[in-house]
Amino acid sequence: MSAVLKTPAFHFQQGDTPLLVSMPHSGTQLTDDVNAGLTGDAQCLPDTDWFIPELYPFLEALGVGVIQANYSRFVIDLNRPYDDKPLYQTKTTGLFPDILFADQPVFQSGHEPSADHRQFCKDHIWRPYHDTIAQELARLKSKFGYAILFDAHSIAAQVPMLFEGTLPDFNWGTNEGLSCDERIRHAVNQVIEPHYSQVTNGRFKGGYITRHFGQPEQGIHAIQLELSQATYLDTDKAAHHEYALDQSKLPHIHNQLKKVIGAILASKL
């Protein structure tokens, strides 16, 4: 077994509100096995949810807990089920992505990670991440009577393999209303400024984390945000696979996301 984690699987900061924010796709660390096999197109990690932690710098001050993945989704996708059962009928990527969103291979032919490596990643990255979420949501529910999970994502505004046209800015997923109380969905919809567009349960209805943990009948609610990267990235650089925050956009998206988190905290359940 050559797999080894050179850094912890994730960062976890406990909060003192009913809300936990999950960031499963912001990681950029690679195992040696994955790094050695990536294609040239994959080496810049184009499908990363870029700079998600930097979009929520106010969480600690608000008392909101956070769990943030350190490893790239090319190592293992934390927003897919352990058994890799497909979430969507349309084309997508799995627990161990083998294609990029650009519909090109992730790995050089014959250099894909071994079955042993993949099992190692399931045991040492996927399981601890999900176990920590489960334990923290249980703690928050015990303390407050309910718990809310906010799964924070982002994606390029245009990804032809996954959807036609251009995404709205804010793409909310509540598993067609099954993963959270309607008051949470209403609260976030109400605070989005008019210059941003939004949709609920459009192309993105919530991935595995939202669907699995969102059990409102048990007092645990989950909502996913798939944020268009056009709201905060330098889009000219991103078009050339160079990823940088757009400093002119950043204050506006910080303000908007802080309102979103505030609205969730104010939605007493």
Q: In which residue are the tokens 């982002």 written?
A: 154
pLDDT value of position 42 = 97
Residues 92, 103: Cα–Cα separation, whole Å:
10
**Strand, coil or helix: what is 131?**
helix
20 within 8 A of 147, measured Cβ to Cβ? yes
Domains of the chain: 10-266 (3.40.630.40)
How far is residue 173's CA from residue 194's CA, in Å, rounded to a whole number?
20
Q: Percent helix, strand, coil in the chain (nearest 5)?
A: 30, 20, 50
pLDDT at 90: 58
pLDDT at 97: 95
Length in residues, the chain: 269
Q: What is the pLDDT of residue 1?
A: 44
Instruction: Tell if the pTM clears 0.75, that is, is over it.
Output: yes
- Looking at residue 93, its pLDDT comes to 78
What is residue 7's predicted lDDT score, i.e. its pLDDT?
94
Query: What's the pLDDT score for residue 265?
Result: 98
What is the spatial distance between Cα 9 and Cα 29, in angstroms, rounded to a whole number? 9
Residue 89: predicted pLDDT: 60
Task: Determine which helix (DSSP H) or strand (DSSP E) holds 154, and give its type and residue range.
Answer: strand 147-155
Tokens 């993963």 -> residue = 179
Per-residue pLDDT tens digits of the chain, which is 269 residues long? 456 799 999 999 999 999 999 999 999 999 999 999 999 999 999 999 999 999 999 999 999 999 999 999 999 999 999 998 876 665 567 899 999 999 999 999 999 999 999 999 999 999 999 999 999 999 999 999 999 999 999 999 999 888 899 999 999 999 999 999 999 999 999 999 999 999 999 999 999 999 999 999 999 999 999 999 999 999 999 999 999 999 999 999 999 999 999 999 999 78
Q: What average pLDDT does the structure give for the chain?
A: 95
Read off the pLDDT of residues 84-115 as tens digits, 9 standing for 90 and up. 887 666 556 789 999 999 999 999 999 999 99
- pLDDT score at 67: 98
